[in-house]
Copies of this chain bind each other. A is one copy, B any other.
Amino acid sequence: MANDIDFYFDFSSPYGYFAANRIDALAAKYQRAVKWRPVLLGAIFKRSGVLPLMEIPLKGEYSLHDIIRTARFHGIPYRHPSTFPISTQAPARAVLWLQNNAGDAEAIAFAKAAYHAFFVDDINIGEPEQVKHIAEQLGLPAGAMIDGIATPAIKEQFKTAVELAVARGVFGSPYVIADSEPFWGFDRFDQLEAYLKNGTI
């Protein structure tokens, strides 16, 4: 089987959420699995000097319009969160903890549920109690997970993961690397599909 596709995303990124809705099905169509890799855009933006989307004059206002229109265009449910953006350390570390202690499938199920909670049900997934509740609803070991994401070990693991992402060139969300080919943005999924189909682009 071909290499896993690396899917980098921030839980506070609407375009990351759109990608999360589609990446597994797209990859499966071409016999690929996806490695879900949460990152922290805040930490990445600090390195690149880029402002968060919503803070850029003109672009911020346009972006909100574009996000809502893009969701509608692609038939993806979306309600803009009342608290936005948020800090996403808690759900990001939860994904890592689940990958370590439960499995990739469980981590992906949690990530999808967390994204849905934030961008459809307007639940602030930056709060550990919400993260715990989402894991409980999926029948995951929520208590152990919440203890786990507060440990220095998982914090260090996540910090290293973000640094490795930056070292691979990741500067935004979603950011997909298939083999060594990088694709930034949900709007490059057409090119990602062409690459997966043809093995070149």
Contact = CB atoms under 8 A, between A and B. Distances in A.
Copies in the complex: 2
B171 A58 contact: yes
Interface of A: 47-51, 56-59, 61-62, 65-66, 69-70, 72-73, 166, 169-172, 182, 184-185, 187-188, 190-191, 194, 201
A15 to B, nearest CB: 11
B201 A73 contact: yes
Given A51-B49, A56-B48, A191 B70 contact: yes
Nearest to A182: B62
A185 B166 CA distance: 25
A187 B184 contact: no
Contacts of A187: 185, 187-188
Contacts of A62: 169, 171, 182, 184
Given A72-B201, A171-B58, A171-B59, A65 B182 contact: yes
14 contacts: A48-B56, A48-B57, A48-B59, A49-B56, A50-B51, A57-B171, A58-B166, A58-B171, A59-B172, A59-B184, A62-B169, A70-B191, A73-B194, A185-B187
